[in-house]
Amino acid sequence: MKIKELPDFHGYFELFGGRFVPETLIPALDELESAYKEVKNAPSFWAEFDSLSHDYAGRPTPLYFAQRLTEHCGGAQIFLKREDLLHTGAHKINNALGQGLLAKRMEKRRIIAETGAGQHGVAAATICAKLGLECIVYMGEKDIHRQALNVFRMKLLGAEVHPVSSGSKTLKDAINEAIRDWVTNVSDTYYLLGSVVGPHPYPVMVRDFQSVIGKEAKEQILHKCGRLPDYIIACVGGGSNAIGIFHPFVNDKDVKFIGVEAAGRGIKTLQHAASLVAGKVGVLHGAKSYVLQDDAGQIRETHSIAPGLDYPGVGPEHSYYKAIGRATYVAVDDNAALEAFQLLCQTEGIIPALEPAHAISYAVKMASSLDKEQIIVVNLSGRGDKDVDIVVRALGMEL
Ligand SMILES: *Cc1c(COP(=O)(O)O)cnc(C)c1O
C-alpha cells in the first residue's frame, strides 16, 4: 500500500494538523505557505541549502556501524546516523538553516524563535548570525535558570533572549509568547519554529528540511549493506528528527518505524512526556494532535531527563502514522535512558545526547531479541556535551 502524499490542501494529515490559530495569523501563515511552495520547486534555493549544509553544517553525516554495541547485544546489527557530528551538536541546524534561508528570501530580517532547553535557540541564533538576521529567542524563566550556558551561547551569537514568566515558565509558554509576538509584528517578522509542530505549513516544511537525514541514510545503508534496514528507531519530542529519518522510507513497507517517547519517572506517575503513548487527541499550539492534558482539558506539566523530549504535544504526522499503524510508538524512562547513555559512551566512545539515549535504549533491548541478519538504524540526533551536568547529578556525583 502506498501512503498518501500528505498533508492535504488544508494542512491535514487525515484527522491531524490544520490551523487552530487566531484570525490575525491566517494571512501570515498563507504568506509563509505560498513562499514555501515557491522555494520548494526552486533549484537555486535547494542548491544554497545543500551547499551550506555541506560546508557550514557538516553534511553528509556518517552512517556508522556500531560494532561493539552490536556485539554487546548479540543480535541485530546496529547502525547510528551521526547527526551528533553536525555544527551546534544536533539535527536542529538542518531546520534552522532551511527556514533562515526562506526568511531571507521573504525579506524578513527580524527572526523570532522559541526554545526549551536552548538547543533550538542556539541553532536559530547561529543561523541568524551566519545570514546577518536579527534574532529574538523566547525562553521560559524556569528554563533560563536551568540552562544558563545555552542562554549565554545565544547571547554570544548576537541573539536577544526574552524571558517568559507566564504559565509554567517553560517551552509551551515560550511558544505561546512567540506566537503573540508574531501576531503583533507580522509584516517584518519571521517565526522560526523548532520542530514538526504548530499550524500548517510548519509540520510539512520542517519535515522537508529534516528529510535530508533519511535521504542520506537510505543511500548509505544501500551502499553498505545492499538492502534497506528492518527497523528505524528515533526519539520523539516534537518529532522532527524522527520524521526526518522516517519520511524518505515511508513507502518502503518492510522498513518498520519505531518512535521512542520519554516515559520520565514512569507512565503511571504522570511525570512523563509520552504524548502518543499516553495522551489524547486535542489541540496545542495551532494543530490537532496527541496531547498530554488532564480531564478538564488543561495541558499537563511534563517531565523527562532529556530536555528536548520534555514537551506535552507531538507533530501531527506522527499522530497520523500512529492512527494508520505505519509507526509504532513506545516510551523509555529516565533510568533506562541514563543506562543507555553510559553504555554508548563505554562501548563506542560516543557521548550521546539524553534524547537519542532513549532510542538507543530501545534499540539495545530489541537487538538482543533479533537475529544477526537483521538491521537496525538509530538516529543519533545529537551529542551529549550539553547533558553532562544533568548526568552528573542523576548519578549522584559531583564534578
Ligand atoms: C530537540 C532535540 C530532540 C527533540 O526534538 P524532535 O523535534 O523530536 O527531534 C531530540 N534530540 C536532540 C539532540 C534535540 O536537541
What residues flank ligand 1, with Cβ below 6 Å?
90, 92, 119, 195, 235-242, 308-309, 353, 355-356, 381-382
Q: SS3 of 264, please?
A: strand
pLDDT recorded at residue 146? 84
Burial class (CB in 10 A: 0-12, 13-18, 19+), 41: exposed
Active site residue 114: yes
CB 273 within 8 A of CB 302: yes
**Ligand 1 atom closest to Cα of 92?**
15
User: What one-character DSSP code corresponds to residue 157?
Assistant: T
Active-site choice (142, 361, 381, 386): 381
User: What one-character DSSP code corresponds to residue 382?
Assistant: B
Cell of 15: 484527522
Active-site choice (33, 83, 114, 355): 114
Active site residue 92: yes
CA distances from 339 to 82, 101, 361, 394 (A): 20, 39, 8, 11
pLDDT recorded at residue 1? 63
pTM of the predicted model over 0.95: yes
Burial 201-222 (b: 16+ CB within 10 A, else e): bbbbbbbbbbbbbbebbbebbe
- For every one of its 399 residues, what pLDDT tens digit does the chain have, with 9 covering 90 and above? 678 889 999 999 999 999 999 999 999 999 999 999 999 999 999 999 999 999 999 999 999 999 999 999 999 999 999 999 999 999 999 999 999 999 999 999 999 999 998 999 999 999 999 999 999 999 999 999 888 999 999 999 999 999 999 998 999 999 999 999 999 998 999 999 999 999 999 999 999 999 999 999 999 999 999 999 999 999 999 999 999 999 999 999 999 999 999 999 999 999 999 999 999 999 999 999 999 999 999 999 999 999 999 999 999 999 999 999 999 999 999 999 999 999 999 999 999 999 999 999 999 999 999 999 999 999 999 999 999 999 999 999 998
Active site residue 48: no
Tell how far the Cα of 75 is from the centroid of ligand 1, in angstroms.
27
CB 96 within 8 A of CB 127: yes
Cell of 87: 555544527
Question: In the sheet that 110-115 helps form, which strands lie side by side, from edge to edge?
Answer: 160-164, 134-140, 110-115, 189-191
Angle, alpha carbons 239-156-384 (nearest 5°) = 40
pLDDT recorded at residue 5? 87
Measured over all CA atoms, what is the biggest interatomic distance in the chain, rounded to whole angstroms? 57
Whole-angstrom Cα distance, residue 367 to residue 387?
26
Whole-angstrom Cα distance, residue 379 to residue 78?
11
- Amino acid identity of residue 306, one-letter, is A
Tell how far the Cα of 194 is from the centroid of ligand 1, in angstroms.
9
